[in-house]
């Protein structure tokens, strides 16, 4: 019961930390944070994860080891069942609220389809083609702002046609599609963590034509930039 008590206390504290992080993330941009405070939510979520595993799980493991070494006979279990019942009620209420909130945001989308809005672009890096890998690292470092085939061929040290064939074989994507997805992934990060307008974000990731960028964003993500921000910032 001591373990359950500590674990419940940690859970309660974690809820307060998440609420604090949400409040901080909604603060408008200022001179110190010109891109806003959106990343505060990720920081406090990280703190919560550490507390769950370091404190909650740590105490559980410690208490479990003590009871294995020095087992005690079971006494009156009534208090145990009461504690478990209250914990089940509170945790169930929290879960129900989370499900309702998620259901409200997903609209008519299925649960599995909704998850793609929260996934990030994860390119293949274990293919073993060092020339292509060199290009991938360069694109990642530069944000794919210069996606000219001639420049990519220069980075890889290969002929353009050779690079195209090896790039598709290694990554499963054409170089153009790869760069588009990388740029959109960068735009998603800015959309989540800043209050910048979409035309500024489009320019920062390499698109002068905001209209074309919006269409590309919808094609890859499945949401408009405005809908995407609402899902993450609740605005």
Over the stretch 40-61, which tens digit does the pLDDT of each residue have? 877 888 888 887 777 777 777 8
Say how many CA atoms lie within 13 Å of 176 toward its Cβ.
2
For residue 52, give both structure tokens.
Answer: 């769950």
CA separation for the pair 82, 91 (Å, rounded): 14
- pLDDT in the model for residue 235: 44
Q: Identify the domain containing residue 197 by its residue range.
A: 130-233
What is the number of domains present in the chain?
2
Counting residues of the chain whose pLDDT is more than 70, the rounded percentage is 85
- pLDDT in the model for residue 134: 94
Residue at which a domain ends, from 115, 143, 170: 115
Does residue 6 sit in the same domain as residue 110? yes
Residue 109: which pLDDT band, with cuts at 50, 70 and 90? Answer: low
Contact yes or no for 37/25 (Cβ under 8 A) = yes
- The DSSP symbol for 116 reads G
| pTM over cut 0.85 | no
Does residue 135 sit in the same domain as residue 83? no
For residue 138, give both structure tokens.
Answer: 């360069």
For residue 11, give both structure tokens.
Answer: 């859970």
Does residue 173 sit in the same domain as residue 224? yes
Residue 123 lies in a domain: no
Report the b/e string of 43-54 with b at 16+ CB within 10 A. Answer: ebeeebeebeee
Residue 154 lies in a domain: yes
The string of pLDDT tens digits covering residues 162-188 is 999 999 999 999 999 999 999 999 998
Give the chain's mean pLDDT: 82
Residue 35 in this model has a pLDDT that exceeds 70: no
- How many CB atoms are located within 10 Å of the residue 29 CB? 14
């Amino acid at each position: 019961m001591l373990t359950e008590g500590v674990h419940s206390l940690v859970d309660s504290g974690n809820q307060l930390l998440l609420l604090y992080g949400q409040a901080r993330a909604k603060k408008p941009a200022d001179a110190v944070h010109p891109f806003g405070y959106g990343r505060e939510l990720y920081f406090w979520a990280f703190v919560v994860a550490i507390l769950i595993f370091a404190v909650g799980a740590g105490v559980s493991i410690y208490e479990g080891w003590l009871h294995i070494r020095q087992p005690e006979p079971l006494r009156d279990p009534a208090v145990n069942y009461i504690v478990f019942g209250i914990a089940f009620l509170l945790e169930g209420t929290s879960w129900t609220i989370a499900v309702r909130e998620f259901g409200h945001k997903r609209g008519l989308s299925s649960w599995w389809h909704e998850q793609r809005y929260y996934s990030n672009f994860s390119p293949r890096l274990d293919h073993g083609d060092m020339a292509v890998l060199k290009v991938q690292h360069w694109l990642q470092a530069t944000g794919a702002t210069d996606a000219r085939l001639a420049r990519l061929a220069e980075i890889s040290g290969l002929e353009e046609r050779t690079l195209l064939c090896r790039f598709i074989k290694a990554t499963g994507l054409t170089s153009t599609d790869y760069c588009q997805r990388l740029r959109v992934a960068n735009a998603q990060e800015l959309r989540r963590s800043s209050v910048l307008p979409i035309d500024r974000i489009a320019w920062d990731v390499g698109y002068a034509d905001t209209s074309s960028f919006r269409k590309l964003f919808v094609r890859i993500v499945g949401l408009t930039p405005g809908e995407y921000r609402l899902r993450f910032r609740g605005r």
